Structure 1
Amino acid sequence: MFLSMYLITLTGNLFIILATITDSHLHTPMYFFLSNLSFCDICFTSTTVPMMLLNIRVQNKTITYDGCLAQIHFFILFGELDIFLLSVMAYDQFVAIRRPLYYTVIMNPRLCGVVLLTFWILSVLDSLFHVLLILRLSFCSNVEIPHFFCEINQVILLACSDILFNVIETYLTTGLMGIISFSGILYSYSWIISSILRITSTRGKYKAFSTCGAHLSIVFLFYGTGLGVYLSSAATHNSKASATASMMYTMVTPMLNPFIYSLRNKDIKRALRRLFSTAPSNE
């Protein structure tokens, strides 16, 4: 089951990237961020799932200290990129609906490039900071992590030294990056929904609500499970519940993103048909 989910994630997101690269009609800010979200989802799920599949296959659930730190670094890096990209995609739709005449001015290519570069820099710096904080902790030998990967909140609970600063930093990061970005997404969609309500066509209103509802369902699934894991990490030690919630935002949402955000889109479908069509030749 996990292998099937991983292959679907890789295939769906790879198709989105190929479609946006090869079709010039998709060279717009919306699809630019969609393709980056697909790339981020591939990397995000590849940080944890291949190791988990290998552990299941060979029945050897061990990881080195350096390997655990590397997994934490890349997991935080691509997880935060996911958060940033979901936020800017919601803002992109907000501008497209609320300020359609100024859309090309506001969401210009230069701004999109600067925003993406800023997201990468912030994510890399924060993930490195998390790793540096873990390096100051001391661990006993042969520590057992009650999880299917080295999730930072589970790792710091196993330290033999004081973890107060690590817990505070985790809460601050979760609050600043998670709650603020989630609030921004809800604000953007509240304006989008208010604009949809003004649509006179019943069919158009239903289609718009269907699209927004699908987007918001993924957002709630990703943020709800992610925030639940990190905000409750210090209060509860239920590793089984934490692992289940982590599986939702590390495996399920990256698998669903291509279908919800892109493959339901007629422009993407048209681009994929062009990509895989074999035109007959008389020569």
Structure 2
Amino acid sequence: MSSHTRNRRTRNRALALAAAAAALSLALAACGSDAMSGMDHGAGAAATSAASGGHQGHQMPGGDAAATAAAAGGAPAAERNGYRLTSTTGTLTAGSPAEYRFGITGPDGTPVTAFRTDQTKRMHFYAIRSDLTGFQHIHPEMAADGTWTAPLAALTAGTWRVYASFIPDAGAGQGNGLVLSSTVTVTGEGAAAVAELPAATGSATVDGYTVAVEGAPAAGKAGELEVTVSKDGRPVTDLQPYLETFAHLTAFHAGDQAFAHLHPEAKAEAGGTGGPTLAFHAELPASGDWRLFLQFQTGGQLHTAALTLKAG
């Protein structure tokens, strides 16, 4: 073999090795880029959910794991993740029942009409006064065009905030729970005085029942609250199913009126009874005072107990 041929083969092998090394380097870089990209997207999604009041990461009985986690977020907002609560009802009249009409538009600007069932309902609607009194929890009806109508009981004069809690069942946000909020002015003579928030306590009474709450939730951390229901000093064991559970617990933060839905750890079987002790997954996004509203049913009657809880 001539020296010219040997030199040419040596150069060819060197070029082939260099090309292989370059290809391997590009493949590793691409792989690393994909991995980091996936990590970034995952972190971003979690952060977005936490900031938006989305339901992520905690499975609730009877619901979708990604869509039925604790709904807790920052200050209330009418728009999150491209979804917006729209309404022409900016003012209501005090002292008589009223209807609040609203709609949800998606990221593409069109009305959302596909909603996933969450705790037996496609929409959970709440109303509360600025001093955290007058709590109402309603399940409105939707018209074919996507307009919801929430029938409100008589309101006292003042500033109220409404919340729409739902899970889109189509589009960009499919399966991800959201809570959107807006304010409403209730007009009328003799506006009610602003009530002082009751001090934090571990129990409350309603309709002859005593509700005791144990637990010390820390802001931004998952925890558990234990609720015990009694009557005349005796444990209550005849709690009836309400929205697939034996109790429904909602919380509002004093000051900014941030919203949190604290989910029960166990599902209520149809026709069964429960009590006296219930466990709730608690994940409150901010420290300070929260006004809790516990709804439970006995003998076909719905009861609502209210108490103040301080989160560390």
Q: For the superposition of Structure 1 and Structure 2, which TM-score range results when normalised by the shorter chain?
A: under 0.3
Q: Which has the larger radius of gyration?
A: 2
Structure with greater contact order relative to length (CA < 8 Å, sep ≥ 6): 1
Structure with bigger strand share is 2
Q: TM-score, normalised by structure 2?
A: 0.24
Higher helix share: 1
Q: TM-score, normalised by structure 1?
A: 0.25
